[in-house]
Chains A and B, each alone.
Chain A
Amino acid sequence: MTQSNRIKGGLIDRSQQLGFTFNGKPMQGHPGDTLASALLANGQRLVGRSFKYHRPRGIFTAGSEEPNALVQLRTGAHQEPNTRATTSELFDGLTAISQNHRGPLEFDLMAVTGLLSPFLSAGFYYKTFMWPKAFWEKIYEPVIRMSAGLGSLSKLDDPDIYDKGFLHCDILIIGAGPTGLEAALTAGRSGARVIIADEDFVIGGRLNAETCEIADGPGADWARHATTELASMDNVRVMPRTTVYGAYDHGVYGALERCTDHLGDSSGKPRQVLWRIYAKRSILCAGATERPIAFGNNDRPGVMLAGAVRTYVNRFGVAPGRTVAIFTNNDDGWRTASDLAAKGVDISAIIDSRNQDAPTQIADARVVMGGRVVDTSGRKGLTSVTLANGEKVTADCLAVSGGWSPNVHLTCHQRGRPIWRDDIAAFVPGADLPDGMIVAGAANGTLTLAAGLADGRDKATELVKGLGFTASKTPAIVAQDEPADLSAFWHVAASRKPAWLDLQNDVTVKDIKQAHAEGFRSVEHLKRYTTLGMATDQGKTANIPALAIMADISGKTIPETGTTIFRPPYTPVPIGALAGRARGSGFRPVRHTPSHKWAEANGATFVETGNWLRAQWYARDGEKGWRDSVDREVTMTRASVGICDVTTLGKIDIQGRDAAEFLNHIYTNAFLKLPVGKVRYGLMLREDGVAYDDGTTARLGENHFVMTTTTANAVLVFRRMEFARQCLWPGLDVHMISVTDGWAQFAVAGPNARKLIQKVVDCDVSNDAFPFMACAQTTAFNTTPARLFRISFSGELAYEIAVPARYGNAMMGALMQAGKEFDAVPYGTEALGVMRIEKGHAAGNELNGQTTATNLGLGGFVSAKKDCIGKVLSQRPEMMRDDAIRLVGFKPVDHSKQLIAGAHFITRGDAANMANDQGWMSSVTYSPTLGHSIGLGFIKRGHERMGEVVTATSPARGGDVQVEITSPHFYDPEGGRQRG
């Protein structure tokens, strides 16, 4: 196919040909074309099928408001559905296919739904698919899913890169039409930092689409010169292909820059960048969007907005039709006629709804004043239009203008409500604008050129002065205001045929009437019931005419009827851009323990614990599964010595004259008299009295403590302690810092731990010199600063040794080397967990936000002599009931049975129901030390029921197990080993 509809002129580079395909058909275009202009140049009027009725549809606009021309761009993993052909820049090799049809575009098998349209009107889902109920899942839903929806996803990973960025400026100018450019020139010349952004790839807005003149030359030339001047200023950033899509609090704006969408290959550069722009002030110069008039069969390919027809003719050098008719209610529509005539395109008729004299004379064009288009003909493209008197006028393109609606969208993003202006029959921005925003030009209802330029200049001058800059004294530029008389006209009432309002959602005038008749009279209800204004175009061309019709039906004015306000985004933002680099492994950073490399080299299997990656176990040759490895690690640790990286526990360094008193407020138990060189277990509550976190705190000096927290709560505990320090007890002299990442810490546990540690550290670790719960600052291997704590999570004779994190990997190797003679093993988080359950220590499963100190058997840790966070409410009667659940141990009566975490306890013989619930199993493990399964759990009055057998029931996961209640301390209950 050749470019049969290409005419002279336009801002395209005819010296270069670009090849592309549409539905596999090869076509040609030029740099500067959009896909839409190239399709029209190639005579392709039918570009898609409508959402509901699968009606043939063509290109309706020339911008981001496009409801019809949505295509699937590119192929394979790069495939992108619902791309507007009107904003997609043409590149060589582009492939596009049309959407929403079964079989070829020309013979859509689903078009039969059009015949069913009487049954598919507003609310049809709610009415039609109600019965029979059984039909829903098997028949209705699959059929609806097949017929609805627009494009389809590739279902492959997106191979493109998306970035995020931050920009700051004094003045953000949104939209680079005449008003925006003049505002940017004014602000830029004053020295203010300016960002001017426009969604189009050519700066200039309507100047590129019109034949108007500025400073005695074409408007498009002025726009080009203005852009050059702006680009030469260091304080100005010109951002084409950038949509400012949202206005957020305090002068923050979201913007999407399409960096390489217009290239066949992004060459590894980001495809799009999502910008967060911080602007002291902004000027919204977003222009206006033309709206259609509703009449019978107004959705045929070839029916197009009049301003879009001018854009194709003037900017792209394309005639959207050979014989064009015009239907308008305003002077602006007439400009279409004069522009077409100037390019030699035939005009068959100008139909003006106004009962007045023709505003101008257009040679050879038939003029019908007070006229109406009631119907159109042409199956897959317009062939003629029918006037009210039945006369048919030949036309393969009908340019429609119902006036222009200011693009007030961003002014609504902070709850601003637009107000109605009768003289232009449109909503303009109201008083409640986002912080720092003013509106100029067409977006503010100033729809003509000279007035718009002046408005941009004046508003920018006002802003730069307010920011302390001196406005430049460049003389005002010369331009003319175009005629812009308009008489509101929304709908040809004489039309009997369906008249479309929302082309994307197939909403007709009849649907609005029906919604009204059924009582959906609020604008918000109307929208949701009819789907008007939804989907990718958000009703940019449909909302105002629909509102006008609603007002007409209900006998109210438009402002009385109301308007839906707009939320971000102005145009769709790809999920990929919102995600940026935060996908796959970039979604969340991974924290490696200091000995990660050593663990990797020694066969560790890793597990994610929060952001951390920790060694879970270290498999050895011949082991058949994780249980073999874990059992061996436990057994060898209990027999000799094992080593585990415990760096992930939170570490908080606390210093100050009042550090001890501060800890007294934080922990339930007393810390004031903890001697220097000693460690103490501490329990924290929430202020409501529920147990929160636990850990050990070492007193390294009179005014110096190091606290450990659980891995999961490291950040939260620190945050709460800062709150306590700054807000609750601000008079205390105490300071703290998180040192979790500063120190690598290793547990060295087992009967030979002392012998091993003595080889490493340079202090006496005999039981007399360094007893259980001692701590010291020392050195390792004569040189490395180290902290040594005699604490035990495993129940063994154990130490934890900390060295600066950078020595962590070497330390792990050195400890293993020193332990070689004792057959030392590294152990992972599984063996750690097994040993803590054998020892009966509470962990996250037990400190689950529902349990109290009493429940945990730690009631004695709540000091009666002092206050602490949570103490008062922990003493409430309900928190201290005699029959409260208690943490105890459980073992199966039949040792071959496995226990199940989450099982609930029922007194033997009772029915397994909520009324008989006695508590639950919180942690279970196979104990290699005891040779059977063991568990920790909570059961009512558990501490008084030792030896009782109850039923642990888990109906969903394997039935009942008879369990005996025991002490939670399965292993060495007297603690002789850890103290030895």
Chain B
Amino acid sequence: MIINHPLLGPRDASEFVYLGDASLINRPDPDAQNAAELFHTYSYERANPAGEHRELWYHEQGDRSWLVVTRNTLTHAITEVEMARDVALKQGRDR
């Protein structure tokens, strides 16, 4: 597979390490009333779609960017590649 890195252009997938569902960005609020429940869902429950999947890839043999790659799990077609940091900031994550 080839991942079109937003900063570095097309790179072979072998340069990357795969993590999984991009929902891992959405770490719950540890102070929430039901934090234990939220963290349980966050840690253990993932969608496993046959089709479009937003997932995290780490450019370990490259610039060490974490990317959010939108990939079709049936065809491997990649339709979007974003910097995970930008995605996280957009989703309101901060410090």
Contacts and interface: CB of A to CB of B under 8 A. Distances in A.
Interface of A: 248-252, 278, 414-415, 435, 658, 661, 687-688, 715, 719, 722-723, 726-732, 867, 871-873, 875-876
Contacts of A435: 77
A661 B19 CA distance: 25
A729 B95 contact: yes
Given A278-B2, A728-B27, A872-B30, A687 B89 contact: no
Contact of B66 (A278, A727, A872, A875): A727
B65 A726 contact: yes
A250 B72 CA distance: 12
A731 B36 contact: no
Interface string B46-63: 000000000010101000
A867 B76 CA distance: 38
Interface string B15-47: 001010000110110110001100110111000
Contact of A723 (B1, B19, B42, B74): B19
Nearest to B4: A250
Contact of A729 (B2, B17, B66, B93): B93
B76 A250 contact: yes
B3 to A, nearest CB: 9
Nearest to A733: B95
Majority DSSP secondary structure for residues of B touching A: mixed
B36 A414 contact: no
B2 A731 contact: no
A726 B88 contact: yes
Nearest to B64: A722
B1 A872 contact: no
Contacts of B5: none
Contacts of A658: 95
Contacts of A688: 43-44
Given A249-B2, A250-B2, A687-B42, A731 B94 contact: yes
B39 A727 contact: no
Given A250-B2, A726-B88, A414 B75 contact: yes
Contacts of B69: none
Which of B39, B65, B85 counts the most chain A CB atoms within 10 A? B39
Given A726-B85, A872-B39, A719 B76 contact: no
A652 to B, nearest CB: 12
A729 B12 CA distance: 28
8 A-B pairs closest in CB distance: A731-B94, A867-B30, A731-B95, A250-B2, A726-B85, A249-B1, A872-B39, A249-B76
Contact of B85 (A249, A715, A727): A727
Contacts of A728: 25, 27, 88, 93
7 contacts: A278-B12, A415-B75, A719-B60, A728-B25, A729-B95, A732-B95, A873-B36
A239 B54 CA distance: 39
Contacts of B94: 729-731
A819 B3 CA distance: 54
A837 B93 CA distance: 43
Contacts of A872: 28, 30, 35-36, 39
A658 B83 CA distance: 21
Nearest to A251: B2
B43 A252 contact: no
B93 A722 contact: no
Given A727-B24, A876-B36, A722 B58 contact: yes
Nearest to A662: B95
A731 B93 contact: yes
B36 A723 contact: no
B24 to A, nearest CB: 7
Contacts of B95: 658, 661, 729, 731-732
Contact of B84 (A252, A727, A873): A727
Contacts of A687: 27, 39, 42-43
B7 to A, nearest CB: 13
A105 to B, nearest CB: 46
B52 to A, nearest CB: 16
Contacts of A876: 36
Nearest to B22: A727
Nearest to A686: B43
B36 A875 contact: yes
Contacts of A719: 17, 58, 60
A722 B66 contact: yes
A730 B89 contact: yes
A688 to B, nearest CB: 5
A289 to B, nearest CB: 28
B74 to A, nearest CB: 8
Nearest to B95: A731
A730 B88 contact: yes
A638 B95 CA distance: 46
Contacts of B75: 414-415
Contact of B93 (A252, A415, A727): A727
Nearest to A661: B95
B66 A723 contact: yes
A871 B35 CA distance: 11
A252 B42 CA distance: 35
B40 to A, nearest CB: 7
B17 to A, nearest CB: 7
Nearest to A252: B2
A732 B64 CA distance: 17
Nearest to B35: A872
Contacts of A249: 1-2, 13, 76
A658 B95 CA distance: 9
Given A722-B66, A867-B30, A727 B56 contact: yes
B88 A873 contact: no
Contacts of B25: 727-728
A852 to B, nearest CB: 15
A415 B74 CA distance: 9
